[in-house]
Structure 1
Amino acid sequence: MKIQSVAVLGAGAVGSYVIWGLSHKKDIRLGVIAEGERADRLKKGGCRINDEVYRPEVWSPQEAEDVDLLIVSLKYGSLPEALESIKTIVGEHTTVMSLMNGVDSEELIAEQVGDDRVLRSLIKVASHKEENGYYFNPETTLGIIFGELAAPFDSERVQAIESLFADTGIHFRSTEFIREEIWGKFRLNVCNNLPQAILGAGVGCYSDSTHMKVISDGLRRELEQIALAKGIDMSKMAGTSGRGSAVPASARYSTLQDLDAGRHTEIDMFSGTLMRMGEELGIPTPYNEYTYHMIKALEEKNDGLFDYQGERDKTTWAK
Structure 2
Amino acid sequence: MTPGHSTDLQTVSIVGLGALGILFGRQLAAGLPAGQVRVVADPARTERYRTEGVWMDGQPVPFAYLTPQGTPSPADLVLVCVKFHALEAALPLIASQLGPETLIVSALNGIASEEVLAQHFGPERIVYAVAQEMDARREGNRLVYRDRGQLVIGPVTDDPAEAARVQAVDRFFTRAGLPHSVDPQMPRRLWGKWMLNVGVNQAVALYQGTFSTVQAEGEPRETFLVAMREVLALSPHAGTGLTEDDFHYWVRVMDALDPAGKPSLAQDLEAGRPTELELFAGTVIRLGRQYGVPTPVNERLYAGIRALEAKAPEVQASASSSGTSVSSSK
Q: What TM-score bracket applies, with the shorter chain setting the length?
A: 0.7 to 0.9
1:244 partnered with 2:257: no
Give, in angstroms, the shift of residue 13 of structure 1: 0.7
1:294 partnered with 2:301: no
Q: Unpaired runs of 5+ in structure 1?
A: 306-319
Q: What CA distance in whole angstroms lies between the structure 2 residues aligned with 1:281 and 1:3?
A: 41
Q: Of 149, 152, 162, which residue of structure 1 is paired with 2:170?
A: 162
Partner of 2:322: none
Q: What CA distance in whole angstroms lies between the structure 2 residues aligned with 1:33 and 1:171?
A: 23
TM norm structure 2: 0.84
**Deviation string for 1:202-234 (max 9, x for gaps)?**
222224233223312321222112222100101
Give, in angstroms, the shift of residue 128 of structure 1: 1.1
Q: Unpaired runs of 5+ in structure 2?
A: 1-6, 316-330
1:269–1:64 Cα change, 3 Å: farther
Give me the CA root mean square deviation. 2.4
Give, in angstroms, the shift of residue 153 of structure 1: 9.0
Partner of 1:38: 45
Partner of 2:268: 258
Partner of 1:220: 228
Asked if the contact 1:184–1:242 (Cα under 8 Å) also holds between the matched residues in 2, the reply is: no
1:55 partnered with 2:62: yes
Q: Of 2, 8, 23, which residue of structure 2 is paired with 1:2?
A: 8
1:114–1:236 Cα change, 3 Å: farther
SS at match of 1:301: coil
1:21 partnered with 2:27: yes
1:68 partnered with 2:107: no
Q: What CA distance in whole angstroms lies between the structure 2 residues aligned with 1:205 and 1:242?
A: 14
Percent identity for Structure 1 against Structure 2: 27
Task: Point out which structure has higher relative CO (alpha carbons under 8 A, 6+ apart).
Answer: 2
Partner of 1:310: none
- State the one-letter code of the partner of 1:233: G
1:113–1:236 Cα change, 3 Å: farther
| Between 214-223 and 184-193, the greater mean CA deviation after superposition | 214-223
- Total equivalences in the alignment: 303
1:104 partnered with 2:112: yes
Give, in angstroms, the shift of residue 64 of structure 1: 6.7
Question: Which has more helix, going by share of residues?
Answer: 2
Asked if the contact 1:97–1:121 (Cα under 8 Å) also holds between the matched residues in 2, the reply is: yes
**Deviation string for 1:179-219 (max 9, x for gaps)?**
11111111111111211111112222224233223312321
| Between 23-32 and 140-149, the greater mean CA deviation after superposition | 23-32
| Between 294-303 and 154-163, the greater mean CA deviation after superposition | 154-163
